[in-house]
Amino acid sequence: MATIGPGAVALVVLAGVFSMIESAIGATSQARAADLARGGVRGARALCAVAVDAPRYVSLLMLLRLACEMVATTLVALAAIDAFGVGWLAALLTAGSMTVVSFVAVGVAPRTLGRQHAYTVGRLTAPMLRWLGRALAPLSGVLILIGNAVTPGKGFKDGPFATTVELRELVDLAEQHGVVEHGEREMINSVFSLGSTITREVMVPRTEMVWIETHKTLRQAMVLALRSGFSRIPVIGDSVDDVLGIVYLKDLAKRTTGGAKDAVDAPVASVMRQAAYVPESKPIDDLLREMQAARTHMAIVIDEYGGTAGLITIEDILEE
């Protein structure tokens, strides 16, 4: 039992190394690695070969990391049983200690180092990683096939691992070589970050909303639209938290132009359209697709308590 402790520590350290390499490979792009290889940087050629087939190597690293963690956990469990006997105490000590150790020594610290020094770690470990890839290719391939077989839908032959790092790096390199302008690079990068942006970050807050009460007339709504410059205005009931619908300038113009003389005195509610409501935590890429499918130009943003947080238009999303 004297060798169990050092063995578990060694396996945890090894798992941390695999985790660091996995994080580094995930933050490495083929374009940047090829650029380093052309510059004659040591290890860059091997890194380029790994980056070309990154999903397969990430799958392999995940397998090795999990194997080290599982064996280390087993060794710690054996040591706990030897010290405290079979029972809940040994189980709790094993689970608690390995959870903390795995989170810190395998999860946070190595992954942070891997991302901070992605290309250095990648260049130093790529030759070893390529050797492991050749040696364990059959085992890794079989496990990926099994995983794809038990997963609904169509799987991936190299595993379900991909990032947008490659495209971001290509855009950066294109700017450096004068292929795209700085503004074009910013616009392309904004597309990648769209999925992480939520509605609350883009919406017009309720304090800046322009709205009209439901009992106001079409004449008053027309004046408000022309003065504010907005072609769509929320219609509220008792308060701004009670949004009943949306009035469109084109509907106001159609109703008040060439119609009956008393048409301008009709209530706004007679021409308002149904409002769409969305939670403030909704990703705006999902919201954009929904608004395009429903042909909706404005939505009322609802907070966690059901009140009105603000509003968002399809133009706001496209501008973002």
SS (H, E, C) 108-136: HHHHHHHHHCHHHHHHHHHHHHHHHHHHC
The predicted-structure confidence for 45-56, as pLDDT tens digits, reads as follows 888 888 877 777
Banded model confidence at residue 150, pLDDT cuts 50, 70, 90: low
Distance CA 148, CA 144 (A): 6
Mean pLDDT of the chain: 81
| pLDDT reported for residue 158 | 46
Looking up tokens 């004449």 gives: 219
Domains, the chain, ordered by start: 4-163 (no CATH), 169-196 (no CATH), 199-319 (3.10.580.10)
- Whether 243 and 275 have beta carbons less than 8 Å apart is answered as yes
Q: Is the pLDDT of residue 182 over 70?
A: no
Q: Which of 135, 106, 134 is nearest to 22 (CA)?
A: 106
Residues in the chain: 320
- Whether 119 and 33 have beta carbons less than 8 Å apart is answered as yes
| pLDDT reported for residue 253 | 85
Percentage above 70 pLDDT, the chain: 80
Q: Which of 66, 68, 32 is nearest to 50 (CA)?
A: 32
Distance CA 240, CA 243 (A): 6
| pLDDT reported for residue 305 | 86
User: CA distances (Å), 35 to each of 39, 119, 204, in order?
Assistant: 6, 12, 44
The predicted-structure confidence for 11-44, as pLDDT tens digits, reads as follows 999 999 999 988 888 778 777 787 788 888 888 8
Which of 48-62, 118-132, 157-171 has the highest average model confidence (pLDDT)? 118-132
Residue 149 corresponds to which tokens in the numbers above? Answer: 């077989």
* pLDDT top residue among 190 and 111: 111
Q: Is the pLDDT of residue 96 over 80?
A: yes
Q: Output Rg (C-alpha) for the chain, integer angstroms.
A: 29
| pLDDT reported for residue 119 | 86
Query: How would you list the strands of the sheet with 243-248, edge to edge?
Result: 212-213, 232-236, 243-248
Q: Is the pLDDT of residue 137 over 80?
A: no
Least confident residue range of 117-121, 161-165, 183-187: 161-165
- Whether 75 and 8 have beta carbons less than 8 Å apart is answered as yes
| pLDDT reported for residue 248 | 92
Residue type, 159: G
| pLDDT reported for residue 27 | 78
